[in-house]
Structure 1
Amino acid sequence: MKRLLLAVSLLAAGPVLAQDKAQTLADVKAELAVLAAQLVSLKQEVVASGAATNGTAGADPLSRMDAIEAALRSLTARTESVEQKVNAVVSDGTNRIGDIEFRLCELTEGCDPGALPPTPDLGGMAGGATAPLAETPTTPAPTTSGDQPELALNEQADFDRAKGVLDSGDFQGAADLFKAYAQSFPGGPLVPQADLYRGDALTQTGDTANAARAYLDAFSAKQDGPLAGQALLKLGTALGKLGQGPEACVTLAEVGKRFPGSADATAATAAMQAQGCQ
């Protein structure tokens, strides 16, 4: 009976385990399968021991294990349902980003659409739980204090140097520096901001196509980060300037869906009206 109590405690912990950010839906399914196998083994032991009907009516060990088994089947079904929905969202979002990348490449001189690398899965968690989305501040300032990740050697200095060039009005020079920065520190905490500034600099030079690619890079770098809504907003606006009306409307609509109630969502709604989105 100690093993039975252990199985029950593990079952009760299932929903908690599913909330662990490091655990994917596949992990949850695997644990449920293990619990189901252990339960079958326990039932066989109980039946073999002759204790299957001990206890009060409706509360004998076998009845209790049948109830647990039914609960396991229900949890497994719900997990599979959630996994299917997540995979559908990931697939649709990845396809949309890939389509935007392809169209931007077609509009960019010297870009070969056939040489584009495969689009990474949206969120980088195909088949798993996505991270919660945070509300987007409109003009966050980069910082390395508090809980921010520690920056690599010279990372802050290179970022500040590029920002100084941008503030001086040398937009092409700033765009080149921010691009070099993102390539030098891939995955760094300031890369989304660097890509966003690169897009702003290229917008000032009139290079709207490459500005749109920079905004897409800013969003892709951290799709649930504090700059994601702003990056999508600016991407949608740039697509509109490039004459990509349907893509612009879809992108702007995503801002409201992902970051409802944020300042970026409000601005995206106004931009959609200006674009004549239906």
Structure 2
Amino acid sequence: MQLRPFAIAALALVLAMPPLMARAQDEQTLADIRQELTVLHVEIQRLKREMSTTGSPQTNVAGDSVLDRVSAIEAELQRLTAQTEQLSYRVDRVVQDGTNRIGDLEFRLVELEGGDISQLGETTTLGGGDLPEGGAPALPATPGTAVDTTSELAVGEQADFDAAKAALDSGAYQEAAEKFAAFTQAYPGSPLAAAVEYNRGKALDGLGDTREAARAYLASFSGNATGETAPKALFELGAALGRLGQTSQACVTLAEVGSRFPGAAETAVAEAERAKLACN
């Protein structure tokens, strides 16, 4: 997980705290790291259980004739193939999400130890090997529009997202922030992850927690830097940095909006924000 320099600098500045609060922040961050390691452990154990046998085979290929048995075998092969594809997809999602979480843990540990964040290399894939090919599907850019609902979503996934979004739209920011955070834990590697983090950032902004909102916007952009949510997340990250007083980094981040997404509606808004911050 190799972040561009502006993203690394932005997150480092967003996470910066006054000296008197450093110790409390370190303790909170270490608690977060322990929690995420526990989540990763649970996911790995869940995969191990799914790959363990559940008893004697239940396949039945009996028939009155050879043709009947051949038909039964073909039907069973189709069933097993579909089941294997579903399990493979779930494993890929856990690998992608686990790798992203490990990269985030590495970042925070280096920061806590006072190391050089710019020297972080590419994160080793969870379980070894290469990351699964293909990314999450593109997500709608306009808030309130329907989010892509495909067969890749788990049961209840879309409903949970919609419930959190409804809370956000109604102005129940605390409830929305909690629901989006719970969604991230319940559906690791979700195709909706970028939209979830973006909307969680909006909820945190509504609560006045600009620093945590900026972290959520960065997570949204880093999770899907080419999706339809990306220009919004990048703009909101830059605007949040400006509100935090990190003007130089805000200017760099806002300039990236037009550079990366010249045709996006957020480009004009980003330029207006740069003018307000008196960027060069």
Preserved CA contact (<8 Å) 1:208 1:241: yes
Preserved CA contact (<8 Å) 1:229 1:259: yes
Question: Mind listing any 5+ residue stretches in structure 1 that lack a counterpart?
Answer: 1-89
Partner SS, residue 105 of structure 2: coil
Note if 1:174 corresponds to 2:185.
Answer: no
Q: Report % sequence identity.
A: 40
- For the structure 1 residues 142 and 234, does the alpha-carbon distance in structure 2 shift closer, same or farther, using more than 3 Å as the test? same
Matched letter for residue 101 of structure 1: L
- Choose from 138, 142, 145 the match for 1:141: 145
Distance 2:10 2:152 in 1: 33
TM-score, normalised relative to structure 1: 0.56
Question: Mind listing any 5+ residue stretches in structure 2 that lack a counterpart?
Answer: 34-103, 108-120
Query: Residue deviations 1:142-181, cap 9 Å, x none?
Result: 4334xx4621111112112212222332211211110111
- Choose from 212, 217, 220 the match for 1:218: 220
Preserved CA contact (<8 Å) 2:140 2:146: no
Deviation at 1:205, TM superposition (A): 1.0
- Choose from 18, 25, 39 the match for 1:111: 25
Matched letter for residue 144 of structure 1: D
Trace 1:94-243 onto structure 2 (pairs within 5 A): 94-107=4-17, 110-112=24-26, 117-119=105-107, 137-139=141-143, 141-145=145-149, 148=150, 150-243=152-245
Preserved CA contact (<8 Å) 1:192 1:227: yes
Partner SS, residue 111 of structure 1: helix
Preserved CA contact (<8 Å) 1:199 1:212: yes
Counterpart position of 1:34: none
Looking at both structures, which has the greater relative contact order when contacts are Cα pairs under 8 Å and sequence separation is at least 6?
A: 2
Matched letter for residue 211 of structure 1: A
Matched letter for residue 106 of structure 2: P
Partner SS, residue 4 of structure 2: helix
Distance 1:107 1:226 in 2: 32
- For the structure 1 residues 274 and 105, does the alpha-carbon distance in structure 2 shift closer, same or farther, using more than 3 Å as the test? same
TM-score, normalised relative to structure 2: 0.56
- Structure 1 vs Structure 2 CA RMSD: 3.3
Distance 2:140 2:185 in 1: 25
Preserved CA contact (<8 Å) 1:212 1:235: yes
Deviation at 1:254, TM superposition (A): 0.7
Counterpart position of 2:92: none
Counterpart position of 1:76: none
Distance 2:234 2:206 in 1: 18
- For the structure 1 residues 240 and 149, does the alpha-carbon distance in structure 2 shift closer, same or farther, using more than 3 Å as the test? farther
Distance 1:103 1:167 in 2: 29
The number of aligned residues is 180
Distance 1:197 1:121 in 2: 28
Distance 2:179 2:17 in 1: 23
User: Which deviates further from its counterpart, 242-251 or 150-159?
Assistant: 150-159
